[in-house]
Structure 1
Amino acid sequence: MHALKSPDLHYREGAACLQTGDGFFRRDSRPSRDLSVLLAALQVSQAQRPLRWLDLMAGCGIRGLRWGLEARQIAQREVELWVNDADPDRACLLAANLQSLCSAPALTLRTSHLAAERLLRQAYLDQTFFDLIDLDAFGCPNALLQSALAVLRFGGVLILASTDGRSPTGHDRPAAIRRFGAAARAHPASWELALRLQLAAIAREAWLLGRGIEPVACFSDGRTFRLAVRLRKRAAAREEAQLGLLARCERCGDQAVQSLLKLSGWRPCACEDGLGRWAVTGPLWTGPLQSPELLQALLRLDPLLAGSLSPAGRRLLQRLQKDAGQPVCCWSTAELAKRLGIGGPPALQALVEALRIQGYQAQVSGVMAGQLRTDAPMAVLLQQCVDLVAEGR
């Protein structure tokens, strides 16, 4: 086993002080770890029974350590905390970092160094179920989805990370077919489409098990795509209608969406000469990306967990809480301005408000900056941009 590294690798985050070691670690991923702490704390605040949490790919163990130190401030619930990393050379580092949890009241700590698939399948054979699973994968995590969902309790939360950015954003289309069973096309809202393709993959695996899903939060920094999804005992009414296709015409920029349940011919795009052609992405998730109510509940917990939520984490949750992810079609104001040849784009919030006044749904995107989502027709959207720029807005 490797010895612990020098003291200059000590790192503080929330209530945790630990050594990161020489493995992969990103300090700027703290907002996602903040979210996981709040989700664990929410479970503690609501639980009427012992809880079981799993950090499946623990690295240096920072998530499990923060869960044990911070989430349990809400109440002294009995918690069984599993911290696993497949690399046995991390055993010494994990043991040292998690030492403070060994004497924590009402907390049972389990550490292991098993391949993720083996741990999940053994848990299923033993009928061991978890309330919270963090699956922080390198590359695409889809091979582990069904095994993870099979050991997630009803109402439990799966926190998923993927560093596979090329295939779901349309830059490696054959890989998107292999990994998602979907066509992926380049799109101005590429981060959002990648999240929707990942949600579709989760939903299909949950439906195979007879379950349903509720997205809690979906976001990205362009390198890593992160999702938190709650598992339901059964699918909601017409949940399958939220699997669909999104089409975009590169020539005119128009967009259209259809549910697979009502799939029919595509309408003409906005090209006046009729020469445009739709490029279709999907099947993907066309339902909500976030649960504003649940995110608001997480934000209300923050004052009870002093130091858990960083300023960046708070900004992220506040931004997502304002955008449930509907309607599906997203537009970049910079692209709209470029198509119109009007120089700078119109003010984003002013465009949203103008579209709402006309009776359309419109919302600032919480996933990508400088974008809005709306069900307004392309012609209305373009005309409103022209009017706002003319008004100096």
Structure 2
Amino acid sequence: MADTALGIPDHHYREGSASLTLGSGFFRPDSRPSRDCSVLLARHQQQNAEGQLRWLDLMAGCGIRGLRWGLEAVPARAERVELWVNDGDPDRLPCLESNLSGLPMPVRISSQAAEVVLAQAYLEGRFFDLIDLDAFGAPGALIQPVLQALRFEGLLLLASTDGRSPTGHDRAGAVRSLGAAARVHPASWELALRHQLGLLARQAWMLGRGLQPLLCFSEGRTFRVGVRMRRHLQPGEEHRLGLLARCDACGSQVVQILRNLSGWPACRCASGAGRWSVSGPLWIGPLQDPQTLAALRRDPWLREPGAISNQTQRLLERLEADPGSPATVWPTDELARRVGIGGPPPLNQLVTAVRRAGFQAYPSGVMAGQLRTDADLTVLLRLCADLCSEGT
């Protein structure tokens, strides 16, 4: 399967109910979980919608998302969906037309720049209920035109392959692309997602609209968020934009709401030499919507053989078990190192101990081996040490 990532011409590929020709462009079989999730969200939307729907795959490549939407998301109600599939490379057009030719709903195929597709749709008054934007690099320049073309309560699936800027490895790039400070952090994938959501929220709020994350995940290479754009901001939504600080000496973490920003408290480092490394503004609210994830996992379509991959199934289970809030996350191996023990206690035991101590605690669904909690570092180190002493 490695040849498909190199774009071998006329290579045939099957995924779910879709069988298609990949053509000569770039394609990643490893991105199947994102495509599975897009089908599940499309199915969920059409099952709960009353009128006509319009879906857009803005950077379609070989058209696999649009093909799977048409075959798997609307099996009995195809007449209710108008499908738009676009790729900016005109050489992709014959491949798209061939792959999508058998779909039972109206399909509009184009090979234009993404900005042109969005502008034309907006000028024609054609708004989308679902937009999938799977871009190379940082998609920030397209966020505002995408939001303007998205219908109220519509779904946006957004991907970014810019890993250096939001993880603190290109701080100047983060200022340019995100309008934020990004610092290196052990939960780097999560901070990249939060920076992306923070940018989305600020752009949505400029239009008077609200943001509800439904699912957010990464495998370390591509950072993917799925959100619902609400007609209005929800009460207190501005409190979900803030700053996250981590002490570069002891590892303590503090979160501040941007609206209530004040001075940072002194870190209680034993040496007194610690400094706060601050990231933001970024999204400090939940990363997942448990209700939506539970509904996706109840879909009877999942009982069909090969509907989604085993990897996607495990991803959904992890995300449903972790709401993505609070925003402070610690790797268990870092806790063990700071306690001075050979290895960390089992994550599930640490979660239970933290909950018994009266705090929130979840295994991170974004990065393996990490604990999400509102307990401070001194509590975590004590509990970690207690668990290790009990096990000896």
Shorter-chain TM-score bucket reads over 0.9
> Could you say which residue in structure 2 is the equivalent of 1:217?
215
- Supply the AA of the counterpart residue of 1:250: D
- Supply the AA of the counterpart residue of 1:359: G
- Supply the AA of the counterpart residue of 1:42: H
Secondary structure of the corresponding residue to residue 196 of structure 2: helix
Q: Which moved more, 1:27-36 or 1:262-271?
A: 262-271
Secondary structure of the corresponding residue to residue 200 of structure 2: helix
> Could you say which residue in structure 1 is the equivalent of 2:121?
123
Q: Tell me the alpha carbon deviations over residues 186-232 of structure 1, each in whole angstroms, 9 at most, x when there is no partner.
A: 00000000000000000001000110010010000100000001010
> Could you say which residue in structure 2 is the equivalent of 1:43?
45
Please state how far the C-alpha of 1:155 moved relative to its aligned partner: 1.2
Matched, 1:154 2:156: no
Instruction: Using the aligned pairs only, state the percent identity.
Output: 61
With over 3 angstroms needed to count, the CA separation of the structure-2 counterparts of 1:119 and 1:76, relative to structure 1, is closer
Q: Tell me the alpha carbon deviations over residues 228-285 of structure 1, each in whole angstroms, 9 at most, x when there is no partner.
A: 0101001100101110000001110110000011111112223023221101000000
Secondary structure of the corresponding residue to residue 100 of structure 1: coil
Matched, 1:23 2:22: no
- Cα pair 1:134 1:158 within 8 Å, conserved: yes
> Could you say which residue in structure 1 is the equivalent of 2:56?
54
- Cα pair 2:9 2:22 within 8 Å, conserved: no
- Cα pair 1:41 1:74 within 8 Å, conserved: no
Matched, 1:316 2:315: yes
> Could you say which residue in structure 2 is the equivalent of 1:65?
67
Distance 2:350 2:20 in 1: 47
- Supply the AA of the counterpart residue of 2:181: A
> Could you say which residue in structure 1 is the equivalent of 2:204?
206
> Could you say which residue in structure 2 is the equivalent of 1:112?
110
> Could you say which residue in structure 2 is the equivalent of 1:175?
173
- Supply the AA of the counterpart residue of 2:83: L
- Cα pair 2:70 2:78 within 8 Å, conserved: no
> Could you say which residue in structure 1 is the equivalent of 2:94?
92
Distance 1:295 1:302 in 2: 14
Please state how far the C-alpha of 1:305 moved relative to its aligned partner: 6.9
Q: Tell me the alpha carbon deviations over residues 149-187 of structure 1, each in whole angstroms, 9 at most, x when there is no partner.
A: 111111110000100000000000000000111000000
- Cα pair 1:255 1:269 within 8 Å, conserved: no
> Could you say which residue in structure 2 is the equivalent of 1:371?
370
Distance 2:275 2:370 in 1: 23
Distance 1:64 1:14 in 2: 13
Show structure 1 runs of 5+ residues with no match: none
Q: Which moved more, 1:21-30 or 1:160-169?
A: 21-30
Q: How many residues align?
A: 385
The two structures have a TM-score, normalised by structure 2, of: 0.96
- Cα pair 2:245 2:278 within 8 Å, conserved: yes
Distance 1:250 1:27 in 2: 38
Please state how far the C-alpha of 1:385 moved relative to its aligned partner: 0.7
- Supply the AA of the counterpart residue of 2:311: A
Please state how far the C-alpha of 1:116 moved relative to its aligned partner: 0.2
Q: Tell me the alpha carbon deviations over residues 65-88 of structure 1, each in whole angstroms, 9 at most, x when there is no partner.
A: 000000012644511000000100
Alignment partner for residue 268 of structure 2, among 257, 267, 270?
270
With over 3 angstroms needed to count, the CA separation of the structure-2 counterparts of 1:6 and 1:22, relative to structure 1, is closer
- Supply the AA of the counterpart residue of 1:232: R
Secondary structure of the corresponding residue to residue 373 of structure 1: strand
Q: Tell me the alpha carbon deviations over residues 286-338 of structure 1, each in whole angstroms, 9 at most, x when there is no partner.
A: 00000010011111114367232221111111110111111110000011111
Secondary structure of the corresponding residue to residue 81 of structure 1: strand
Distance 1:242 1:334 in 2: 29
- Cα pair 2:9 2:24 within 8 Å, conserved: no
- Supply the AA of the counterpart residue of 1:262: N
- Supply the AA of the counterpart residue of 1:229: V
- Cα pair 2:243 2:279 within 8 Å, conserved: yes
Q: Structure with the greater relative contact order (CA < 8 A, sep ≥ 6): 1 or 2?
A: 1
Distance 1:77 1:388 in 2: 58
- Computed over aligned residues only, the root mean square deviation of the Cα atoms, in angstroms, reads 1.4
- Supply the AA of the counterpart residue of 1:345: P
Q: Which moved more, 1:300-309 or 1:79-88?
A: 300-309
Distance 2:267 2:356 in 1: 25
- Cα pair 1:44 1:74 within 8 Å, conserved: no
- Supply the AA of the counterpart residue of 1:373: R
Please state how far the C-alpha of 1:375 moved relative to its aligned partner: 0.9
The two structures have a TM-score, normalised by structure 1, of: 0.96
- Cα pair 1:60 1:93 within 8 Å, conserved: yes
Distance 1:177 1:284 in 2: 12
Distance 1:219 1:61 in 2: 22
